Amino acid sequence: MADELAAREAALRAWKADVQRYVLQPLASEGLTRDGSFMQIARSVAAGGECLSHKVGAVLVRDDAVLAIGRLGTPHGVTPCPDGGCPACASGQHMGLLCVCVHAEAQALLTAARLGIALQGSTCYVTGKPCLECLKGLLHAGVARVVYATVRPWHDAYWRTYDELVRAHGGMRLEQLVP
């Protein structure tokens, strides 16, 4: 058991070093900030998303290490959207209760939980401003900062509730990354 744990930890350290060497440093050398580099990773994750309606990606990071990723798509183990796993994608009715897709932020949170990764003090980079449900999950998990690229066009009452929740929490920072 101890040998297996040591091997896993060594593999994780090697992977983190590879992310730093092959992903973050080249992106930074192209003029991207640290936030821009992680947002670029979120965009790459989004591109691989399964949902036929939207492409959203999320990356949870702490101490310059990627902790978990998530993309909009069906739950773990469920048939992917392109193969008929989501009734909304199969029918073309993407707004409604038929959708079984898990939001990118929720998928990243759930992956971290499944793998036993603590998220206290982490940052979530996400290609779209999180919905209220995902925001609540990020707050509950202890995510300290959310950096998003785009804002969804929801009604004013929704954003007022959203802003009140963030203000009430007090500890989380929400920032839009403007290119």
Q: Please state, in angstroms and rounded to a whole number, the distance separating the CA atoms of residues 108 and 71.
A: 8
Alpha-carbon separation of residue 16 from 47, 79, 173 (angstroms): 22, 30, 25
Query: Phi, psi (5° rounding) for residue 78?
Result: -95, 145
CB 123, CB 146: distance < 8 Å? yes
DSSP code of residue 19 = I
Q: Please tell me which residue in 4, 30, 105, 133 is annotated as part of the active site.
A: 105
Query: Phi, psi (5° rounding) for residue 41?
Result: -65, -45
CB 134, CB 110: distance < 8 Å? no
In the annotation, is 105 catalytic? yes
Q: Please state, in angstroms and rounded to a whole number, the distance separating the CA atoms of residues 178 and 172.
A: 19
Which residues are catalytic, by number? 105
